[in-house]
């Protein structure tokens, strides 16, 4: 299933991808499948943490309300929190702006043994920076190749990369924004600025399509995750993460001493 959601090489049109796709699953069957995958995820993450020879970077991108926070909460709530590092990238600080755009990103890349999660990422520098004209076109166009080189550096150093675009429809976003307004416990998550971004929907879709066309590589592939159904979103991401960890052929490290001769005193 997750392999079917890998973006093919070449030009990408988001209109060709349904945000409602569920691959024949319903909520019950998806949750049953996810439960099985979670058991394997726990074991693989423990091996990753114990061996400390590889790392995994997960990039989550999507429009407001697409479910980035929810995906982190529901997919990774079963694993050892010591083996997870979550990074949120908001507007760059003055210190960030005094360096190259990847400086603050590289500092958060996961060390060996950890799963790193980027809730938004370096791709904001070819998304919001482009749509809002924060930098000249010449600057953001050069960033596609700079990002590819950065991601290649990470993978050549032992970090596998999975990039997920949480694909929701504009109608679904409206429902989720309204739900935040209607629920007093969720109103803190509502930002009037989200409506301005919503007005730029088509511009963002075009920017994302160019990201997928320019930065979809074998070593750092993009997945378009249908995310109108949260339960299907969670299943897709969980399966892809498990598959990526399986490819690492993770093993527990051998003991440094002959433990067969160890006697624990009374």
* 152 Cβ contact partners less than 8 Å away, ≥ 6 residues apart: 217, 219, 220
pTM of the model: 0.93
**Tens-binned pLDDT, residue by residue, of the chain (266 aa):** 555 577 777 889 999 999 999 999 999 999 999 999 999 999 999 999 999 999 999 999 999 999 999 999 999 999 999 999 999 988 889 999 999 999 999 999 999 999 999 999 999 999 999 999 999 999 999 999 999 999 999 999 999 999 999 999 999 999 999 999 999 999 998 888 889 999 999 999 999 999 999 999 999 999 999 999 999 999 999 999 999 999 999 999 888 777 777 888 88
Helix axes 230-247, 27-51, angle to 10 degrees: 30
Provide φ and ψ at 177, rounded to 5°.
-65, -40
195 contacts 176 by C-beta, under 8 angstroms: no
> 115-119 and 55-62 as β-strands: parallel, antiparallel, unpaired?
parallel
| pLDDT tens figures, 67-80 | 999 999 999 999 99
Class of domain 2-251: alpha beta
41 contacts 78 by C-beta, under 8 angstroms: yes
3-state secondary structure of 199: helix
247 contacts 158 by C-beta, under 8 angstroms: no
Cα torsion at 58, 224, 237, 116 (round to 10°)? 10
């Amino acid at each position: 299933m997750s392999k079917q959601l890998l973006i093919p090489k070449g030009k990408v049109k988001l209109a060709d991808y349904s945000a409602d796709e569920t691959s024949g699953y319903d909520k019950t069957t998806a949750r049953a499948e996810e439960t099985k995958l979670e058991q394997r995820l726990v074991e693989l993450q423990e091996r990753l943490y114990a061996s400390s020879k590889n790392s995994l970077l997960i990039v989550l991108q999507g429009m407001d309300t697409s479910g980035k926070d929810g995906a982190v909460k529901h997919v990774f709530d079963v694993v050892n929190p010591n083996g997870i590092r979550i990074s949120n990238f908001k507007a760059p600080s003055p210190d960030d702006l005094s360096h190259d755009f990847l400086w603050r990103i590289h500092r958060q890349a996961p060390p060996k043994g950890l799963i790193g999660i980027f809730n938004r990422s370096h791709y904001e520098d070819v998304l919001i920076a482009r749509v809002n004209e924060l930098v000249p076109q010449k600057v953001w166009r050069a960033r596609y190749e700079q990002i590819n080189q950065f991601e290649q550096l990470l993978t050549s150093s032992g970090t596998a990369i999975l990039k997920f675009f949480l694909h929701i429809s504009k109608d679904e976003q409206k429902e989720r924004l309204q739900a935040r307004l209607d629920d007093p416990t969720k109103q803190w998550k509502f930002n009037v600025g989200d409506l301005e971004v919503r007005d730029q929907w088509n511009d963002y879709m075009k920017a994302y399509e160019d990201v997928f066309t320019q930065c979809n590589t074998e070593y750092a592939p993009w997945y378009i995750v249908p995310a109108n159904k949260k339960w299907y979103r969670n299943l897709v991401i969980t399966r892809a993460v498990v598959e990526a960890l399986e490819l690492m052929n993770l093993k527990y490290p051998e003991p440094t001493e002959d433990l067969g001769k160890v006697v624990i005193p009374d």
